[in-house]
A and B are shown apart, each in its own frame.
Chain A
């Protein structure tokens, strides 16, 4: 009798033990998915990401069905005000006390690097759609950090190559004085020099500078063919407008906007911006699929989407897909799944997330239309050429990420 009882007990314990991993794998921590959108909601990068990113994330959740495995999906958002300490402490509180499972947006490379570093320690996935610095996937790469839309390597491969081949051999940089600006300038300088060009000078301007006149005049007196603007958002718009006021382009130099968004072109107007060439990952009216989505976005946001907004939609959708397919929100599991998936949606075709976190996808060189060519308020860009993923992004053989090499 005792023997049977023992067998029964062992059997029961065995059954219970086998059952455990199944329950754990099929569970979502806190019984929901919470996605954090941390962006500049009030300052220099507000229009390229900001509140639009929250809308894009909401659209992704709604299109996904509003829930995953029967559990709700929530969004939490905050303004990092371009201060890395506010970004880091907000992310820390989200992770420690608000049960956030994934953080996206994260424009401003300083904020991005600090949050990615924190998320690495705390084992939370970040899908960065807004920042540019290659440090995110190179020197400071993380097993849980994904860099989704563009980086400072891809941008000059498109823009600088085109400009050097058109005769712009000598470059002078006006650089936003923080992580992103430095990264963009260094990467662009490398491309210029590899094509036989020369970097003749550089001047650093604080982020969110209102008056570029002094820097532009220094650029003018340097004798450079091209003035490279290693900045973005409002800074780029101000620099280009003022270059116009001081007749710099008319005096013979070219301006290279290394990171330009459609919202910047709209803000400057075609009179000033026409002919400007830059590299992007997404053009809203490129095809039927993108146009349909963009018009839905425009209805809710009031402006057409930038590549970053489209990227947020795609990133959130693919994250939710990965959670659904693995049946869990466990960080390692989901990250592994994301690495296996081939990404296909209105934003990206044949995209792959590499081991260093970089999302490899094609980029496009575009040119701003002349006023006479534009058929509507937001019809502002012509696609000039496609830059395939393997040229745009650093290959796994060359990456400095310690996870790979």
Chain B
């Protein structure tokens, strides 16, 4: 019930947002929300902490940027290309990382992501520190000009809803239930006959692909594929968003992304104090507020029922 209310709220907010706030800013929030949802699928539901998701987010942005700018792909095809790249990269990373458990798993993802980061820094087509600039917005389906802010916004919102929908379906499917069982008690799931590694790998690939979708979309919005998108600090930001919003809840990452994103934006005049504030929120969340905002909302809703 709570989830249904949250969904309606999210839909209404999303549809009316461009009239109340700067559309480009809301689009940025949507990308991070999708990124956080994808990350939450892996950590909150499968119990796997990846420190390298920025590789998918940033890498997809570069691919989308390149194919639309240099090869004239339409924005939709460009985004699909970037997402496809994330799928392939995610499969490769997943295959290598799944063999390891816990902290070693996180370390493998970090190392692999660092390699991608340095490749992004060195390869000529990425533009190194300058980034890939001048990515065209293009025309959707050949006739909707995406340079129009409203058109671009609803396109991005649609992408977000699709990605969100995929994650929602994944969580509430038999596959999703097994994932959660694995997170609770891996050896028991094994003893029940499930191919645990296969499930984990599939979760990883879905998560990576959708993170890539978010990055690819961001490239078209800002017409820029930046190196910072592939930096490990971006991986850290998304962890923060997921934690603040509520690990293992459906809407947590969305709320978290909006909260952290809005805070960073409104407080940007205060320079590095934003980092201090975000760090403090992080610490507070880890120590006493582990359920996150949405987690707390769920708990209050359950209390009310009784």
Contacts and interface: CB of A to CB of B under 8 A. Distances in A.
A280 interface: no
Interface in A190-210: 206-207
If over half of A's interface residues share one DSSP class (helix, strand or loop), that class is named, otherwise mixed; here it is helix
A42 B224 contact: no
B24 A92 contact: yes
Contact of B272 (A42, A85, A93): A42
Contact of A88 (B149, B222, B268, B272): B222
Interface residues of A, number: 23
Interface in A71-117: 78-79, 83-86, 88-89, 92-93, 96-97, 110, 113-114, 117
B222 A178 contact: no
Nearest to B61: A85
Contacts of B269: 78
B53 to A, nearest CB: 18
A96 B22 contact: yes
B222 A85 contact: yes
B224 A85 contact: yes
Contact of B226 (A41, A83, A92, A206): A83
Interface string B252-280: 00000000000000001101100000000
B128 A85 contact: no
- The listed residue with most A CB atoms (<10 A of its CB), out of B130, B224, B271, B272, is B130
Interface string A174-196: 00011100000000000000000
A88 B271 contact: no
B222 A42 contact: no
Given A84-B226, A85-B226, A41 B131 contact: no
Contacts of A207: 129
Contacts of A88: 133, 222, 224
A41 B269 CA distance: 11
A40 to B, nearest CB: 12
A84 B131 contact: yes
B134 A117 contact: yes
A275 to B, nearest CB: 32
B25 interface: yes
A83 B128 CA distance: 12
Interface in B278-292: none
B3 interface: no
B163 to A, nearest CB: 22
Contact of A177 (B129, B134, B229, B271): B129
Given A85-B228, A89-B224, A93-B25, 14 more contacts: A42-B271, A83-B228, A85-B226, A88-B133, A89-B24, A93-B22, A110-B129, A114-B131, A114-B133, A117-B133, A117-B134, A177-B129, A179-B129, A179-B130
Interface of B: 22, 24-25, 28, 128-131, 133-134, 149, 222, 224, 226, 228-229, 268-269, 271-272
8 contacts: A84-B224, A85-B229, A89-B28, A96-B22, A110-B129, A114-B131, A177-B128, A178-B130
